[in-house]
Amino acid sequence: MSTLPIRTYGDPVLGAKTTEVEEIDARIAALAASMIETMVAAPGVGLAANQIGVQKRLFVYDKGEGPRVVVNPVILETSGEWLYEEGCLSVPGLSWPITRANAVHLKGFDLDGRELDVEATEFEGRIFQHEVDHLDGVLLIERLTEDQRKEAKKILRQRRLTFARDDRDGFHQLLGE
């Protein structure tokens, strides 16, 4: 397995809705293994397939109990509210207090094709909501208040301008330097 480049804010793949995985096979298992390695190396607690440029509906996560994979996830119900500081591997180095549902009912499949039916609260529920948002083409920036979003976009624009000035040909970014 190997780590994969994580797509960041501004990449159009992050705004597109993913398609369902039709067959859970060795290719999907290998993809999930590379995604887990990428998530751990980042480091992060979740990673959706489109964050590495694969438009399939699956994500990996680790809430501290070992990595897990969810294929074709669907959130059936949510309840309550929970405010928590949230960041994203596709918006590196930034985080905001965001209100999401406190309880989540998620269905999907594991890599063996067995149905998952999970009731999650707080941190695990937040991970599920964040990753399903990615799979639906919704980036963290869209969950911010209007003022937060304006500030975030200002910071991200400045980063792009700095990148363009410091690395005009893009070789440093391509080489991971």
DSSP state of 56: B
Is 85 tagged catalytic? no
| Backbone φ, ψ for residue 33 (5° rounding) | -65, -40
Q: Which two tokens stand for residue 107?
A: 């269905």
Q: In whole angstroms, give the CA distance from residue 70 to residue 17.
A: 16
DSSP character for 142? Answer: G
Q: What angle do CA 134, 117, 7 make, to 5 degrees?
A: 15
**Which among 37, 81, 122, 131 is annotated as catalytic?**
131
Closest CA to 152 of 71, 87, 83: 87
CB atoms within 10 A of CB 84: 14
What contacts 64, CB < 8 A, 6 or more positions away?
none
Would you please indicate which residues are annotated as catalytic (active-site) residues? 131
